[in-house]
Amino acid sequence: MTGIRVLGGDVERGAQVLTPDALEFVAGLHRSFAATRDDLLARRSVRRPLGFLAETAHVRAGDWRVAEAPAPLRDRRVEITGPTERKMTVNALNSGAKVWLADLEDANTPHWRNVVAGQVNLYDAARGTVDHRSPEGKHYVLRDGERPAIVVRPRGWHLPERHVEVDGAPAVGALVDFGLHFFHNAELGRPYYYLPKLESHLEARLWNDVFTAAQERLGIPHGTVRATVLIETIPAAFEMEEILYELRDHASGLNAGRWDYLFSIIKHFRDRGADYVLPDRNSVTMTAPFMRAYTDLLVRTCHKRGAHAMGGMAAFIPNRRDPEVTRQALAKVREDKGREAADGFDGSWVAHPDLVPVCREVFDARLGDRPNQLDVLREDVAVTADRLLDVRSAGGRATRAGVVGAVDVGVRYLLSWLGGNGAAAIHNLMEDAATAEISRSQLWQWVHNDVVLDDGTPVTGELVREVLAEVASGLDGEHLAAAVELFERVALSDDFVDFLTLPAYERID
């Protein structure tokens, strides 16, 4: 394997997925596409005015549709998300959902063991041979019957994989995740993917080129790969049609990645003044006008082009010790999913198996015997750039409780992430990197824009550090000091860190 080095340690059954041929395949993708990836990441730092692109108006005006969805992806009324940990793999496949989003990105800490074991678990899941025995001796096995289609989410373009080196440089994390999965499982006929963190149609074009090359190199028919793109950045919201167009032979839909979308808005407008300051995270609901504009445009765009529109995450974790908390939360989940179904979405996400029946019930009532509602064209929707950018329409204020909550969730999540668990149960919610990103970026924005809380208290670095000390005093864990130091850095440093997972990655393994 000339020019390829695996720097990570041994992982159980790692040799089964890190074969010489598989690593050569990954290295070939890296050599072909890493330079373009690097150029596109550099373009992100050039902050252009947001709006619909004049140079791609012909795409938006054109008469085209994406390829028809393959049979396993025509009915996506409920999708369950979660990391590729062994127990989660079995539970997701037994959940009754139509799709399992197997998450190698925001819900996964990229410890080398997680990266490799995730591929092992996906290998077994694709072949129906996955099981799990807990330390207590409980045996988790796949039940008979229909199982969800597996849709793998690789890491975003920005993340490296430092445990695999190609010609002296860290491999592109996205190409490691995609390449290993595709190499070992594409021949089974269902190489389906969720693409995160795209900021332009040019980044979608790169993925399309990767898919085309991968299929050619393994002799897989063109168009076998299918990709759903998460529209979770504000620049991508203005290029939905262009993104589908670039991937039209491989596209199967778009998803409203609501939490990352809020993070992207905060990040993009972090230093633009009071007109772009968001209130407490929990007060920004999907009914805010600028969020409604985003989701309405997504449904309109998808159905105009024959693609599926997928709704956002229901992150609640049922609390069996407190039935009243669970009852109230399930009512909110049902209301949220009902709004999505009425708006024309073809399905939605949940984070816990107990929420699958709730989401399914709501979409069953809307869809009946239909697999989707691609026929709901939403021709009533006409979204302008101003509506997408009207952040002030969120209303609300920043509060002391919002500061405490942001610090608490951020530190707890990083404590979990540094310990190897990227899907953290915090206060009856399944949190991933997106909510930690909102927490720290919101504090950065409040501090750097001289925000005053509703009680008259200015949000300063000193206030955040005071709350940070209070929160830390009530926590413990091996990685607490590192989590506190890292959170303070990404929330308060003068230079805004684009993704907290980049400095966090330097602290693991």
Rg of the chain over CA atoms, in angstroms?
Answer: 22
Contact 293, 468 (CB under 8 A): no
Q: pLDDT value at position 88?
A: 96
Q: How far is 469 from 215, CA to CA, in rounded Å?
A: 52
Beta bridge partners of 150: 100
Q: Count CA atoms closer than 13 A to 432's CA, side-chain side.
A: 22
Instruction: Read off the pLDDT of residues 386-423 as tens digits, 9 standing for 90 and up.
Output: 999 999 888 889 999 999 999 999 999 999 999 999 99
Q: pLDDT value at position 351?
A: 94
pLDDT tier, 1 (very low <50, low <70, confident <90, very high otherwise): low
CB proximity list for 436: less than 8 A, separation 6 or greater:
409, 410, 413, 414, 417, 500
CA-closest candidate to residue 231, choices 299, 139, 147: 299
Q: pLDDT value at position 320?
A: 78
CA 433 to chain centre: 9
Contact 194, 177 (CB under 8 A): no
Alpha-carbon dihedral angle through residues 389, 449, 256, 101, given to the nearest 10 degrees: 160
Q: pLDDT value at position 47?
A: 76
Instruction: Read off the pLDDT of residues 243-262 as tens digits, 9 standing for 90 and up.
Output: 999 999 999 999 998 999 99
Q: How far is 417 from 177, CA to CA, in rounded Å?
A: 19
Check whether 509 has a pLDDT greater than 80: no
Q: Which two tokens stand for residue 12?
A: 């159980």
Q: How far is 288 from 285, CA to CA, in rounded Å?
A: 6
CA-closest candidate to residue 225, choices 251, 202, 198: 251
> Which percentage of the chain shows pLDDT scores above 70?
100
pLDDT tier, 2 (very low <50, low <70, confident <90, very high otherwise): confident
State the burial class of residue 255 (Cβ atoms within 10 Å of its Cβ: 0-12, 13-18, 19+): buried
Helix (H, G, I), strand (E, B) or coil at 259: helix
Catalytic annotation present for 364: no
Contact 207, 225 (CB under 8 A): no
Q: Where are the beta strands (DSSP E) in 104-178?
A: 131-133, 139-141, 149-153, 160-166, 169-172
CB proximity list for 139: less than 8 A, separation 6 or greater:
131, 132, 133
Distances in whole angstroms, Cα of residue 229 to Cα of each of 34, 90, 196, 201, 292: 20, 25, 6, 11, 19
Q: What is the mean pLDDT of residues 44-62?
A: 94
Q: What is the mean pLDDT of residues 430-441?
A: 95
CA angle 92, 329, 83 (to 5 degrees): 25
pTM above 0.85, yes or no: yes
Output the average pLDDT for the chain: 96
Q: What single string gives the DSSP state of each residue in 47-104?
A: -PPPS--GGGHHHHHS---PPPPPGGGS--SEEEEEE--HHHHHHHHTS--SEEEEES
Determine which one of 77, 153, 281, 366 is catalytic: 153
Q: How far is 183 from 400, CA to CA, in rounded Å?
A: 50
Catalytic annotation present for 205: no
Is the sign of the CA dihedral 442, 498, 107, 418 positive or negative? negative
> Which percentage of the chain shows pLDDT scores above 90?
92
Q: Which two tokens stand for residue 509?
A: 């393994």
Report which listed range, 64-78, 281-295, 391-405, is most confident.
64-78
Contact 35, 256 (CB under 8 A): no
Q: What is the mean pLDDT of residues 411-439?
A: 94
CA-closest candidate to residue 83, choices 126, 122, 112: 122
Q: pLDDT value at position 28?
A: 98
Q: pLDDT value at position 319?
A: 83
Angle at which helix 461-473 crosses helix 400-418, to 10 degrees, equals: 60
Q: What is the mean pLDDT of residues 218-230?
A: 98
Check whether 267 has a pLDDT greater than 90: yes
Could you tell me if residue 195 is left (phi over 0), alpha (psi between -120 and 50 degrees) or otherwise beta? beta
Instruction: Read off the pLDDT of residues 164-176 as tens digits, 9 standing for 90 and up.
Output: 999 999 999 999 9
